[in-house]
Amino acid sequence: MGTLRTELERIASSFVSSVLDAMRSASLSDLADHTGGRGAGAAAGVSPARGRPRGRPAIAAPAAARRGAGGRRRRRASPEEVARQKEIALSAAKGLKPGFSKGDVMSKSGSKVDLGRALSLLVTDGKLTKKGDRRMTRYWVK
């Protein structure tokens, strides 16, 4: 029994040292490519008891594929665009009955751009009042 244990310890030690040597000699980009660039286990979507879920790729999609159309991040709205969105939101809000929601403003204005930020800025400016959080948020024109 003692020889089996020592033999297993020797094999495991040899394996670990060869893995560490390979990791030390590899570049960071090689390591990231072979690990999918993610953390271990749960961060990579792997369950410790059952392995990789069915239908999911073994390696994460490249960063360019995750960003969406055009391969770049959405551009931040300029101050002029934000001011225009605030005007659109306020004019639509004035035509609604008190206690309206963001969805009401979106449908009334016909805007394809999300006006949530504009409504928040109007509340900050004191032109609207707000009650509730998340989907229960209701607004009133002052």
Q: Are 86 and 122 in contact (CB under 8 A)?
A: yes
Burial 99-118 (b: 16+ CB within 10 A, else e): ebbbebbbebbeeeeebeeb
Mean pLDDT of 15-24: 88
pLDDT tens, 77-108? 999 999 999 999 999 999 999 999 999 999 99
pTM score of the predicted model: 0.51
